[in-house]
Chain A
Amino acid sequence: MHIPDGFLSAPVYAAGCAVSGAVCALAVARANRNLGEREVPLLGMTAAFVFAVQMLNFPVAGGTSGHFLGSTFAAVLLGPLNACLVMAVVLLIQCLGFGDGGLTALGANLFNMGIVGAIGGWLLFRALRAILPRSRWGFLASAGAASWAAVVIASAICAGELAASGTYPLRVALPAMAGVHALIGIGEAVITVAALSSVLAVRPDLIAAWDRTAKLKEARP
């Protein structure tokens, strides 16, 4: 879903850069105050994992492929704002190092593929977490469903950006993009659940969202 240069009009890519820039500034300020010794190497590892798995396109219906985004996974592991930093590094290097995604579209791409999953996906994960059983399976199902939804929402926003730029009308772009990404999102959910359950098996204490639920449990009388 990396938008190249030329698809977005100047107002749309400028707005993308402004919004993503503001979120990154907030994430940097927050990291400045809160980033602990443990999170530093973990943040690097998560970025490396997201980059590596984003290379692994899997086929979906009709001669189309999709790939992992990883933003909801990163948010569950590290917290939403740290996940924004992870996605910013990944997308910046993909753009400058590998020519994937346009430089003018970097803000829009970071919003769609990073911030939507990191913040929106994380909020959805928290909401599902409150409804579903407070077990390992409830945790993984919440993360999987939230990551699927984040991919579909990101594709709908991408369609909106194309429409706002006058590149393609929304009534065609929205169902087409959301439809194929409903399938790609299944791959996202499978990878998110597999990766989180691996971490859960060896180091549950390193998962930010798990830590918090564990603490809540202890605090109960």
Chain B
Amino acid sequence: MTRRVWGFVLAGLLVSVLLAALVSPFASQAPDGLEKFAKDHRFAEKGEGRAAWQHPLMPDYKVAGVRNESVGTALAGIAGTLLVFGIAFGAAKLLSRRRAADSEPVGQK
């Protein structure tokens, strides 16, 4: 049963990586709903230079040092998608393992 879930999961992950790699360079560069509202109403500068976290790995969803912007975005998309998968899977695995450990000594189920 688990193996059949893995087939679906890997297919879904592949679709996600392909979307992040091949479609993200064509995504709209226009500001999103909140950014546009902030710009139009002149409070966007309140958020400039105020970042509390100064060390994002890939600022603006681009791998630094890649000359071609589309390639930089595609690489950031692939890396981010795999990173998110790894961390979410790892966290879920840890949570479910603790459950398994808890229920073992009881000897039921």
- The answer to whether A and B come from one shared complex is yes
Residues of A within 8 A of B (CB): 1-7, 28, 31-53, 55-60, 62-67, 85-86, 89-90, 93, 95-100, 102-104, 155, 158, 167-168, 172-173, 176-177, 180-181, 184, 202-203, 206
Contact assessment for A52 and B47 in the assembled complex, using a CB-CB cutoff below 8 Å:
no
Chain A positions within 8 Å of B107 at CB level: none
Tally A-B pairs: CB < 8 A: 218
Residues of B within 8 A of A (CB): 1-2, 5-6, 8-9, 12-13, 15-17, 19-20, 23-24, 27-34, 36-38, 41, 43, 46-48, 50-53, 56-61, 76-77, 80-93, 95-96, 98-99, 102
Distance to closest chain B CB from A196 (angstroms): 12
Show 8 A/B contacts (Cβ-Cβ < 8 Å), sorted by A: A45-B9, A45-B12, A49-B13, A50-B84, A57-B32, A85-B92, A102-B52, A155-B33
Chain A positions within 8 Å of B43 at CB level: 7, 167-168
Contact assessment for B19 and A56 in the assembled complex, using a CB-CB cutoff below 8 Å:
yes
Given known contacts A40-B92, A51-B80, is B99 in contact with A32 (CB within 8 Å)? yes
Given known contacts A98-B61, A102-B50, is B77 in contact with A52 (CB within 8 Å)? yes
Chain B positions within 8 Å of A176 at CB level: 37, 41
Chain A positions within 8 Å of B32 at CB level: 1-2, 57, 64-67, 184
Contact assessment for B59 and A49 in the assembled complex, using a CB-CB cutoff below 8 Å:
no
User: DSSP class of A's interface residues: helix, strand, loop or mixed?
Assistant: helix
Distance to closest chain B CB from A81 (angstroms): 11
Contact assessment for B47 and A6 in the assembled complex, using a CB-CB cutoff below 8 Å:
yes
3 interchain residue pairs of minimum CB distance: A44-B89, A6-B50, A47-B88
Chain A positions within 8 Å of B17 at CB level: 48, 52
Contact assessment for B28 and A58 in the assembled complex, using a CB-CB cutoff below 8 Å:
yes
